[in-house]
Chain A
């Protein structure tokens, strides 16, 4: 508990740093002493605050979504970006851009969620059908499925001259998060909290269908609920900031190594660490090459792929 409070403080500190890093000058002292001019307050309320809130909600949500994905697929490598979820949500987003570009963000998110739900269900269906000899096959199947979906997206984006628009919102870039554009992330927040309420159910489901049935859990229902959470969280993040790869892989695995998988215990840590990691990646992205920004998603991509490789290699070593 004490440790958790400490971690909470650290994350809070990161959030505060995130509030005050940026091209235009906003300082803490100015805000509180009342010296802040109107422009400064504007920047703070319209851009900085939404951005930091979005980072926290997206990070926490994606980390929890990754955990749920790992429980449902019963595989350590599964997460929205290795299960076809992210790519399906992006395809949904493209469809919206093509057919009804003026839909409110909320509706865009719902369409993207529906696509994500279909894609992730397809992934789980394939897993059920294919006899799996190695756990590494699971993310491979997910990546291949994601690749196929992504190719479709690119094809249509190219045909309809939407490549640039696509690029802009698939890069996990929080610089475009403004007031009025990030609020769907609160849905991700509600779902994250709901997952915590259902934590024991997810743990039991993660023990496998037979154990779950033996303990009287309605496995199908938990599976369906989990899929909805994963899809909607992913879609709301994709719609607001773009793709945040690997966060659902790194955080749940690290927490699992240290504390195990009893989710009632670990989910708060997972959510908090997810938020902290995304905050830090965003701050790094904003400072390494200032005044230009590297999207948080790209920073995560680098860290995440290294982590993923490391996980694979360590498996190899243990198996050898």
Chain B
């Protein structure tokens, strides 16, 4: 369980995350949606102790992330940020292998190799294992980063816009992968998404942020509605029931 209590963060005098209190239970996929600048990434980074908070606490399974040793947390919680510039020239396989670093400190065991192979296979990267990251396309690189986080094999996995740069096929595959991770392996997955329909079809719970505040929280049936989406994004929405899923239409 992740307990977020009264998290507040400001830059200069601008409050970007405003007294967010939220509990994420174990298991399932939670999507965070909201307009640009709503504070989604900042909140996710604070949960994963990448950014210090001004006020409030985040507890993961009872451990305060601001105080727990980094290496202990690294075996429970992992995060992939929205933009990842890597100047280090690593091969895809070496990058993914570093996902095991919290367990092996750089000395992979046979069991680690198995994790690495599985992660590469899950993301369809078997043929690219020997390639350097700077020789990949944007979407391939994104998949390599996700494979690394997957390889870290933590109970809690946070992804900030994991569908960045992915084509439709790979985006669907990615969401299915996350759903399987939650369903079959009991992982708790938190994703920031911009595509409300992916959020609608794949989430167990959706969190809506607006102006740094927690605006709404609930299952897709409660969130994916014309009025709530309109309030969130400030533009007109239609929502249709298609094969049991709620699909938002907003192109017109």
A interface residues (Cβ-Cβ under 8 A, vs B): 71, 74-76, 199-201, 203-204, 206-211, 213-218, 256, 260-262, 264
Contacts and interface: CB of A to CB of B under 8 A. Distances in A.
A229 B236 CA distance: 59
Given A200-B101, A200-B105, A200-B106, A214 B87 contact: no
A208 B85 contact: yes
Contacts of B144: none
A201 B102 CA distance: 11
The 7 residue pairs across chains A and B that have the minimum distance between CB atoms: A216-B74, A200-B106, A216-B71, A206-B88, A260-B89, A216-B102, A261-B89
A210 B45 CA distance: 9
B102 A76 contact: no
A262 B94 contact: yes
B140 to A, nearest CB: 17
A76 B101 contact: no
B225 interface: no
13 contacts: A204-B98, A208-B86, A208-B87, A210-B50, A211-B86, A213-B49, A214-B48, A214-B50, A216-B74, A216-B75, A216-B101, A216-B102, A260-B90
A67 to B, nearest CB: 11
Contacts of B91: 260, 262
B70 interface: yes
A74 B85 CA distance: 10
Q: Interface residue tally of chain B, by bracket?
A: 20 to 34
A286 to B, nearest CB: 36
A207 B78 CA distance: 15
B106 A74 contact: no
A71 B90 CA distance: 13
Nearest to A217: B70
A264 B94 CA distance: 11
Interface in B125-141: 132
A223 to B, nearest CB: 14
A218 B101 CA distance: 13
Contact of B102 (A75, A207, A209, A215): A215
Contacts of B31: none
Contact of A207 (B72, B86, B132, B149): B86
B152 interface: yes
B115 to A, nearest CB: 14
Interface in B71-104: 71-75, 78-81, 84-91, 94, 98-99, 101-102
Given A203-B98, A204-B98, A216-B101, A74 B78 contact: no
A261 B71 contact: no
Interface string B199-216: 000000000000000000
Nearest to B91: A260
Given A71-B88, A207-B86, A262-B90, A215 B101 contact: yes
Q: Which of B98, B99, B102 has the most CB of A within 10 A?
A: B98
A216 B90 contact: no
Contacts of B101: 200, 204, 215-217
Nearest to B72: A216
